[in-house]
Amino acid sequence: MADDEVTVPGATPVRPAGPHRDLAWGRWGDPADATPLPDALGPLLEQALGVRRPGAPVPPLDAARPAPSRLSATARRDLVAIVGDAHLRDDDASRARHARGRSTTDLLRVRAGDLADAPDAVVLPAGHDEVLAILRACAGHRVAVVPFGGGTSVVGGLTPDRDGFAAVVALDLRRMDALLDVDPTSRTATLEPGLRGPDAEALLAPHGLTIGHHPQSFLWATIGGFAAARSSGQASAGYGRFDEMVVRLRVATPTGTLDVGRAPRSAAGPDLRQLVLGSEGAFGVITAVTVAVRPAPAVRAYDGWRFPSFATGTDALRSLAQDGPTPTVLRLSDEAETALNLARPDEIGADGAGGCLAIVGHEGDAADVADRRARTADRLRALGGSPDPDAGPAWEHGRYRGPYLRDALLDAGALVETLETTAFWADLPALYAAVGDALRTTLTDLGTPPVVLTHVSHVYPTGASLYFTVGCAQADDPVAQWRAAKAAANAAILATGASISHHHGVGVDHRDALAEEIGPLGVAVLRATKAALDPDGILNPGVLVP
């Protein structure tokens, strides 16, 4: 099957230069970029958190031994007939690399040698028609299919329910990594799902364009993953969420092709794009994404601002979100996160002023940035802020490094994980208090009192997202320890009327809470959609749909 079969008519696919790189085994990112534990964190781990012993090490990949593959010879033969022998992998290392995502519990299970969720094979299609054929073949053989992009899920999005299936295959989309079309008149670009964030930006750069989507997972996550999980980037205040950028989708399902999005907006019934955005591979496999793009900014400027309290800073962010001027990047750390300098990962433990640190960024042409930056500064001073000249550039330099620090903390014997939620501005103070209290109470009762750090990560005129980072000593069973804390946090989120996720998604971890959030009728709608698009239930079973 030719690689260009799904291209827009008249377009020539363009692919990234260089080979595909895998995420580090059992860790985050590139091993060459691993971050040693800052000296300042040693005393905190021992004295404040009671960390007394190192964590379990990551076993070597060549020692990974998943259970024997359950993929039948007949099913294997049919899949090889579609993709070719070179593009079906069932060696232990390939299967182990596709077991789970990158949540802390995922990483802890790897450290414990638990590869129970490893797929029975990895299949690498070249295009839309091959994906369709794979889905039909797998349905015929009762083989579950897990779409796999960057492998960066942190909510159990890659851990399907095997019950009732003969085998599980990971559908790795790395070969579908082309820029298919650029429409400079409409300012749209059509991309394949396996294209990683940096590669997408590199392919758009010769056109003078950008997507502007930069989540912390940017270096490793994919275009398809951004759409399937409703990703939100660090510059969402200026560019919007990824789902707001998507104007068209092509989706392969076991029952056929779904093409949605004929125009930017339409009154032709409900917007079916919304069935796919956030569907996490449970309804279909995204094979092409058309997004709105913008001129690449000539200038990027990031500033730090201090506020005397989290409440004061939150009010300032709300004022900007509602009344302007609107920066491109806008985030605020609470007192605890600011004191630890977690907003500036390369400077953790450095002495700094107290209060709460906000990062405010502007992107665009030189004149526009200068104007908006000056107006924002005037507004923030009037709202009680004072500039911190070094904080903005420090944040920019370390904006993608947080997950590397988590690896170092797990090595040292700390348990560290994140969760996020979103609510209307009026409900934000109660949400902040309730989730923090739930985490501190649960983990303290387990004998591992935590530090809980929080920041406002994304803002809108009507509300914002809160992002929590939790650290404590690892218990004897750290997976069960975190699950207890996470359950308490989920209960607090639902009790305050907030949403269970802003941008991490649902996966398995939030599935039961989603059922409570949307109610029985909402669950019935999801199940009916699943039945229409995936009647045999082979796509990511157990993920998303309660």
Q: Which helix (H) or strand (E) holds 306?
A: strand 299-307
Provide φ and ψ at 358, rounded to 5°: -110, 140
CA distances from 417 to 18, 45, 107, 437, 457 (A): 33, 15, 11, 16, 16
CA distances from 336 to 17, 480, 481 (A): 42, 26, 22
Q: Which helix (H) or strand (E) holds 140?
A: helix 128-141
- Asked if residue 362 lies in contact with residue 301, where contact means CB atoms within 8 angstroms, the answer is yes
**Who contacts 530 (Cβ-Cβ below 8 Å, separation ≥6)?**
282, 283, 537, 545
Q: Does residue 325 have a cis peptide bond before it, meaning omega lies within 30 degrees of 0?
A: yes
Return the HEC string of 391-457: HHHHHHHHCCCHHHHHHHHHHHCEEEEEEEEEEEHHHHHHHHHHHHHHHHHHHHHCCCCCEEEEEEE
- Asked if residue 496 lies in contact with residue 432, where contact means CB atoms within 8 angstroms, the answer is no
- Asked if residue 24 lies in contact with residue 31, where contact means CB atoms within 8 angstroms, the answer is yes
β strands within 116-245, DSSP E: 121-123, 143-148, 167-172, 179-183, 188-191, 209-210
Tally of residues, the chain: 546
Residues catalogued as catalytic:
467
DSSP classification of residue 261: -
- Asked if residue 29 lies in contact with residue 150, where contact means CB atoms within 8 angstroms, the answer is no
- Asked if residue 236 lies in contact with residue 401, where contact means CB atoms within 8 angstroms, the answer is no
Query: Token digits for 108?
Result: 């802890």
Q: How far apart are CA 399 and CA 346, in angstroms?
A: 9
Q: How far apart are CA 211 and CA 200, in angstroms?
A: 8
Residue type, 67: A
Residue type, 406: R
Q: How far apart are CA 219 and CA 216, in angstroms?
A: 8
The candidate with the shortest Cα–Cα distance to 25, out of 90, 86, 99, is 99
